[in-house]
Amino acid sequence: MFCMVKSARILLCILVFPVFRYAAYRLQNTNLCEISSLFSTPLDFPQSCINKLLTQQHLWPFWFKEGNACCLAVLPAWLLIEHQGQTSLLTRQTNFSYDTTLISTKFLPTLKRQFSNGICPHYPISQGFNGGLVGWLSYPSSQQAHLIDFPSLCFGFYDCFIKEDEHGDSILYASSEAASQRIIQHLSQATTPNFQLQAPFSQLMSGDDYLKAFTQVHNYLLSGDCYQVNLAQAFKAPCTGVASPAFERLLQLSNPPYAAYSHSPFGEILSLSPELFLKFCEDGSVLTRPIKGTRPRKQNPADDKIQFDDLQHHPKDRAENLMIVDLLRNDLAKHADIGSVKVAKLFKVESFPQVHHLISDIYCQLKESSHPLDLLFDAFPGGSITGAPKKRAMEIIDELENCQRAIYCGSMGYLSVTGRGQWNITIRTLLKVENSLYAWAGGGIVADSVCESEYQECFNKIGAILQLLEDEFLAD
Active site (catalytic) residues: 275, 292
How many other CB atoms sit within 10 Å of the CB of residue 270?
A: 27
Between CA 33 and CA 38 the distance in angstroms is: 12
Closest C-alpha to 15, from 47, 45, 39: 45
Please give the C-alpha separations between residue 338 and each of 207, 342, 461, in angstroms, as whole numbers: 47, 11, 37
Closest Cα to residue 274, out of 405, 464, 432, 415? 464
Give me the phi and psi of 370, to 5 degrees please.
-110, 140
Euclidean distance between CA atoms 308 and 296, whole angstroms: 9
Three-state SS string across 159-179, please?
A: CCEEEECCCCCEEEEECCHHH
- Cα separations in angstroms, 382 against 139, 149, 375, 421: 10, 22, 11, 16
Closest CA to 177 of 305, 327, 19: 19
Q: How far apart are CA 81 and CA 419, in angstroms?
A: 22
Kindly tell me the burial class for residue 252, based on how many C-beta atoms sit within 10 Å of its own C-beta (0-12, 13-18, 19 or more): exposed
The secondary structure of 100-156 as a DSSP string is: EEEE-S-HHHHHHHHHHT---------SS--SEEEEEE-------SS-----SEEEE
User: Do 268 and 244 touch, CB atoms closer than 8 A?
Assistant: yes
- CA pair distance 208, 315, nearest whole angstrom: 28
Comparing CA positions, the residue from 183, 246, 199, 240 lying closest to residue 49 is: 183
Spatial contact of 402 and 414, defined as CB atoms under 8 Å apart: no
Select from 442, 403, 408 the least CA-distant residue to 230: 442
Tell me if residue 21 falls in helix, strand or coil: strand
CA gap 476, 201 in Å, rounded: 15
Spatial separation of the C-alpha atoms in residues 311 and 347, rounded to whole Å:
9
